[in-house]
Structure 1
Amino acid sequence: MRIFLSVLATLLLAASVAGCNPPARQFRGTDISAVDWGGDFELTAHTGQRARLSDYRGKVVVLFFGYTHCPDICAPTLNRLAQVMQRLGPEAGRVQVVFVSVDPAHDTPAQLAGFVPKFHPGFVGLTGTEAEIATVTRDYKVAFQAEPKPGATQPVIAHFGGMMVKDASGKLRVMLKNDAPIDDIVHDVRVLLAARS
């Protein structure tokens, strides 16, 4: 929760530079359209192929950072996103959910392949080297930290659990909490779909 609040504070500060008279609120999540970070990157997909985020240009992209052994946030969030895709119906074909691992030491492409597509066959899981993940998370202001747990074979990783949504042009537009109501996620995705960026 501390990590989410620190990232949220950063995003709200960045969004405030848009001006004293912002336009009427269109998103139910936090509008982060004013930020100038969060660019393209290349990682390894759960298929084993290299993939760039720009490969999904033309679609609304929902980015979620997590890891496959996450005990409490990741699976429920991916399940919510699967419900969002179901609610979108035919529009879901213009949306891409991308799960980026913050545990590259454990989350190999094979590990991701046994996890991410279980929630929805269209979801993409991405991983990379520790250096690659460090670069991507730094560029997206995503905080995470391994916290060793006595008796556990793997550390628990405290991480930013929100979702960032890009419009079809690849611009970051909105951030939603991992437990945002499904109606709110659907609403904000549809706002971006209607924009036809």
Structure 2
Amino acid sequence: MTTRRLGLAALAAFVALGFAGCQKAAPDQPAFKGIDLTGAEYARQLSLTDQNGRARSLADFKGKVLVVFFGYTQCPDVCPTTMAEVAEVKRSLGADGDKVQGIFVTIDPARDTADLLKNYLASFDPSFIGLRGSEEQTQAAAKEFKVFYAKVPGKTPETYTMDHTAASFIFDTEGRVRVYARYGAGAEPLAHDIKLLLAEAKK
């Protein structure tokens, strides 16, 4: 599958995250099913423009659990599956679903226009937010999150695909990255970890 051919750089980043997740959680910390990133010194900033032309940052979403995913709208499998799972989890939470915000960061700003992002995300959940920037801003955001992506040439210049890290980053209601949710685990572990963060916020 194209988006799972992470390459050596992505594999190295994934292994690093895996080691981070091997640390034993403190007794007062929740037991996540994803990789625990509590205290990570990256994924601290995200400042891009949304599909409505509004400048956004992580601070805008304080009070909500964020699920941040880097992908592109022409992705055939990983991206739509991930967004569908986030939407499923959000619906399953009932009233608490309003406290969950899905954020899709495009790694293909050349093709993913604001209008395209708007239509794409609305097909999953009307509350989802798409973020885009220039090539330089996109590279900076990916570097901040330790996300790998690369263009894979197609038969024509317009039909390229993108290899990219296939995972979501979950933030708590204080805007701190807490969980690295690997693609392929399904909606249940994602729901489990989001519920833990929502419960944590109520304490």
TM-score by length of 1: 0.91
Quote the Cα distance in structure 1 between the aligned partners of 2:58 and 2:176: 11
Partner of 2:26: 23
Alignment partner of 1:96 is 2:91: no
Which of 10, 19, 28 aligns to 2:16? It is 10
Alignment partner of 1:176 is 2:152: no
Alpha-carbon distance, 1:6 to partner: 3.2
Partner of 2:155: 150
- Match of 2:73, SS? coil
Alpha-carbon distance, 1:151 to partner: 4.2
**TM-align CA RMSD:** 1.8
Which of 35, 51, 60 aligns to 1:55? It is 60
Tell me whether 83-92 or 25-34 shows the greater mean CA deviation: 25-34
TM-score by length of 2: 0.89
- Match of 1:115, SS? helix
Count of aligned pairs between the two proteins: 194
Residue identity in the other structure for 1:172:
V
Contact 2:149 2:162 in 1 (8 A): yes
Alpha-carbon distance, 1:157 to partner: 0.2
- Match of 1:98, SS? strand
Deviations 1:43-64 (A, max 9, x none): 1101122111210011110001
Which of 41, 44, 54 aligns to 1:39? It is 44
Quote the Cα distance in structure 2 between the aligned partners of 1:64 and 1:117: 16
Alignment partner of 1:82 is 2:116: no
Tell me whether 155-164 or 23-32 shows the greater mean CA deviation: 23-32
Contact 1:61 1:95 in 2 (8 A): yes
Task: Point out where structure 2 has 5 or more consecutive residues left out of the alignment.
Answer: none
Change (3 A) 1:185 1:130: same
